[in-house]
Amino acid sequence: MTSLAGGYGPTQVLYDVSVEVGEGEIVGLLGRNGMGKTTTISTMFGLLAPSSGSISFDGAQIAGHRPFQISRRGLSLVPEGRQVFPLLTVQQNLEATVRASVSGDRRWTVGTVFELFPQLADRRQNLGVHLSGGEQQMLAIGRALVMNPRLLVLDEATEGLAPTVRAAIFAVLRILKEQGQSILIVDAYLQKLLTLTDRNVVIEKGRTVWSGTTEDLIASPGVADRYLGVGV
Partner 1 sequence: MQLFVEQTLNGLQLGFTLLMVSAGLTLIFGIMNIINLAHGSLFMVGAFVAADVGGRTGNYAVALLAGTAAAAVVGMFVEFVLIRRLYLRDHLDQVLATFALVLMANEAVQMIWGTRPGGVSTPAFLDRTVTVFPGLPYPAYRLAIIAAGIAAISSLYLLVDRTRIGMWIRAGTTHRELLGAFGVNVRLLYTLVFAIGAGLAGFAGVVASPFLSVESGVGDNFLILSFVVIVVGGIGSLKGAVYGSLLLGLVDTWARTYLPLGFDGFLDASTAATVGASVASASIYVVMIVVLVVKPNGLFGLPDG
For partner 1, the binding residues (CB under 8 A) are 45-47, 66-68, 70-72, 76-77, 79, 83, 85-88, 92-93, 95-97, 99, 143, 147
Alpha helices in the chain (DSSP H): 37-44, 67-72, 90-97, 110-116, 118-122, 133-145, 163-178, 190-194, 214-219, 221-223
Neighbours of 224 (CB within 10 A): 21
Residue closer to partner 1 by CB (options 47, 209) is: 47
Least Cβ distance, residue 167 to partner 1 (angstroms) = 27
In this structure, the chain runs to a length of 232
Residue closer to partner 1 by CB (options 127, 232) is: 127
> DSSP letter at 230?
S
Residue closer to partner 1 by CB (options 12, 97) is: 97
Q: Check if the beta carbon of residue 224 is closer than 8 Å to that of residue 232.
A: yes
Residue closer to partner 1 by CB (options 85, 189) is: 85
Backbone torsions φ then ψ of 37, nearest 5 degrees: -65, -50
Least Cβ distance, residue 69 to partner 1 (angstroms) = 8
Query: Residue 149 class from Cβ within 10 Å (0-12 exposed, 13-18 middle, 19+ buried)?
Result: buried
Least Cβ distance, residue 180 to partner 1 (angstroms) = 22
Q: Check if the beta carbon of residue 91 is closer than 8 Å to that of residue 138.
A: no
Residue closer to partner 1 by CB (options 68, 171) is: 68
Least Cβ distance, residue 107 to partner 1 (angstroms) = 17
Residue closer to partner 1 by CB (options 45, 170) is: 45
Calpha distance 117→126 (Å, rounded): 15
Least Cβ distance, residue 131 to partner 1 (angstroms) = 14
Neighbours of 142 (CB within 10 A): 25
Least Cβ distance, residue 45 to partner 1 (angstroms) = 5
